[in-house]
C-alpha cells in the first residue's frame, strides 16, 4: 500500500501533508488553534487547545480513525509554567478515559505571534 495524504484539499501547495496514512497508522502533523478555513485563533490557551484538538480529530476522521484510536501525542507549548493546567483540563474533555501516551514540551514560540500550542498525533485506523 502506498501512503495516503489526508487533509490536502484546501492547501495542495503545502510542502507537507496535514496527515499521512500508512497501512493501519495515521500520522497527524502538528495542529494549532486555527479556526477551520482561516488563520484566526482565540487568544487563550483553553480555546487554542480545544481548536487544535478539534483539528486533530477532523484529520483523524478523514483518515478513518478517531480520538479513541490515538496512541501517542506530542504537545508543544509556549508557556508550560502558566498554562499547563488549563491545557490539561481541555485535554481531559477529549480523552476522559484511557488517554494516549503524551509528551509535552516547552518551546519559545510558534509560527505566528500569539499561538500558544501545537499538537501532533499518531493513531491507528478504525477496524
Q: Which tens digits make up the pLDDT trace of 6-58?
A: 987 756 677 889 999 999 999 999 999 999 989 999 999 999 999 999 999 99
Q: Say yes or no to pLDDT of 127 above 80.
A: no
Please give the Cα distance from 123 to 100 (Å, whole number).
Answer: 9
4-124 CATH fold = 60s Ribosomal Protein L30; Chain: A; (3.30.1330)
Of the chain, the percentage scoring pLDDT greater than 90 comes to 85
User: Considering the chain, what is the average pLDDT of its residues?
Assistant: 94
Q: Say yes or no to pLDDT of 109 above 80.
A: yes
- pTM value? 0.94
The whole-number pLDDT of residue 37 equals 87
The whole-number pLDDT of residue 9 equals 74
The whole-number pLDDT of residue 53 equals 98
- Which of 25, 11, 13, 7 shows the shortest CA–CA distance to 122? 25
The whole-number pLDDT of residue 63 equals 96
The whole-number pLDDT of residue 14 equals 72
pLDDT band at 71 (very low <50, low <70, confident <90, very high): very high
The whole-number pLDDT of residue 12 equals 62
Amino acid at each position: 500500500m502506498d501512503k495516503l495524504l489526508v487533509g490536502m484539499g484546501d492547501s495542495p501547495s503545502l510542502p507537507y501533508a496535514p496527515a499521512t496514512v500508512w497501512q493501519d497508522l495515521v500520522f497527524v502533523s502538528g495542529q494549532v488553534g486555527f479556526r477551520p478555513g482561516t488563520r484566526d485563533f482565540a487568544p487563550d490557551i483553553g480555546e487554542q487547545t480545544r481548536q487544535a484538538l478539534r483539528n486533530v480529530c477532523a484529520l483523524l476522521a478523514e483518515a478513518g480513525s478517531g480520538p479513541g484510536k490515538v496512541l501517542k501525542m506530542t504537545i508543544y507549548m509556549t508557556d508550560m509554567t502558566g498554562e499547563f493546567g488549563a491545557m490539561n483540563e481541555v485535554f481531559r474533555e477529549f480523552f476522559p478515559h484511557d488517554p494516549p501516551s503524551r509528551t509535552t514540551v516547552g518551546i519559545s514560540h510558534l509560527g505566528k505571534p500569539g499561538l500558544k500550542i501545537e499538537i501532533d498525533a499518531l493513531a491507528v485506523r478504525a477496524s
